[in-house]
Amino acid sequence: MINIKRAMRSNRIMKSLTGLSRSKFNSLLPYFEIIIKEENGKTVKNNKNRQRASGGGAKHTLATTALQLFYILFYIKVYPTFDVAGFMFDVDRSQTNRWTHKLLPILEKALDRKMVLPKRKIESVSEFIALFPNTKDIFIDGTERVVQRSVDYKKQKLNYSGKKKKHTVKNIVANDENRRILFVTPTVKGSMHDKKIYDKYTIGDFIPNTTTQWVDIGFIGIDKKYDIDIQMPKKKPKGKELTYEEKENNKIISSIRVINENAIGGIKRLRCVSDIYRNKKANIEDKFMIISAGIWNHEIEKVA
């Protein structure tokens, strides 16, 4: 079995195995413990007729909440198969499957309680201002993740990304100038264009026009539909060339927009959102994305 005590003594190893430093792991642990206790309390309450006394039976391999948090962070950071995870933790693959599906929503709730999860839906400009009062610039882009090709031809077409030339799922991610992820749209099929996702979730309706939106040319047309302040590179006209000034301006915009690439890169440090997605249970790919963004926000969060 993995020597977890040794891992917890090294910042480098902890970041490699969990995506969090030791201090960030320890600061998340109390929130995780609270959610674990709440979930266990519900289980006991709904299990009044149990035959075995509470605490009876074989002892849990992950005997403490710290070990349980370590396991689920390890799973999403390294993204091993259940066979490999079972071998590394000295249990059957079916046990790692059960651990993962039990602990994943608990981790999501703990990150939410810690207030580091990005928003999924914002209803109005006033809500945006209340949530992010000092945000003057927001950086928006779509990001894709490769999925296994479906045997269903219709699903293949929905997932096929002409940009990536692969079968993918997609989200739009928005962050501020400090690389903190502010919101992540629900996961959609890879064939859906960035602008269509932007329109579907009415992003232009809740971002105030006092906040500058930095986007790429995949969002061409949003400035005509919404009352927004936008910075976007100029697209090369068909059969013509951009002027020197236009090229230089594009370089400046791209150099500023790199903050968005850094933020998305921070999310994709976790292998569950950078490797080919292979889980079969519905909606797990969306949980992976929101949890990974929450872990990134937690890792870069400044200690008060």
pLDDT at 56 (0 to 100): 55
Sign of CA dihedral 221, 222, 226, 229: negative
Q: How confident is the model at residue 156 (pLDDT cuts 50, 70, 90)?
A: confident
**C-alpha to C-alpha distances, 275 to 5, 269, 279, 281, nearest whole angstrom:** 27, 10, 11, 17
Q: How much is the average pLDDT of 242-254?
A: 94
Q: How confident is the model at residue 100 (pLDDT cuts 50, 70, 90)?
A: very high
pLDDT at 249 (0 to 100): 96
pLDDT at 49 (0 to 100): 62
- pLDDT 10s digits, 174-222: 999 999 999 999 999 999 999 999 999 999 999 999 999 999 999 999 9
Alpha-carbon span 124 to 301, nearest angstrom: 26
CB atoms within 10 A of CB 39: 14
Which tokens is 214 given?
């930095």
| Residues contacting 255, CB < 8 A, separation 6+ | none
Quick one: which of 15, 76, 68 has its CA closest to 288? 76
pLDDT at 304 (0 to 100): 45
Average pLDDT, the chain: 91
* Long-range Cβ pairs for the range 198-207 (8 Å, 24+): 198/140, 198/172, 198/222, 199/225, 201/121, 201/172, 203/140, 203/172, 203/174, 204/228, 205/124, 205/125, 206/122, 206/123, 206/124, 206/125, 206/127, 206/128, 207/125, 207/128, 207/138
DSSP lists the bridge partners of residue 284 as none
pLDDT at 48 (0 to 100): 56
| 150, 258 Cβ separation under 8 angstroms | no
Which tokens is 56 given?
């009876």
Residue with tokens 């009044």: 48
Alpha-carbon span 243 to 246, nearest angstrom: 5
- pLDDT 10s digits, 19-70: 999 999 999 999 999 999 998 887 545 555 656 565 554 566 888 999 999 9
Which tokens is 35 given?
């959610």
User: Would you list the domain boundaries of the chain?
Assistant: 4-44+61-113, 125-279
pTM here is 0.90
Assess whether pLDDT exceeds 60 at residue 253: yes
| 270, 295 Cβ separation under 8 angstroms | yes
pLDDT at 53 (0 to 100): 60
Assess whether pLDDT exceeds 90 at residue 168: yes
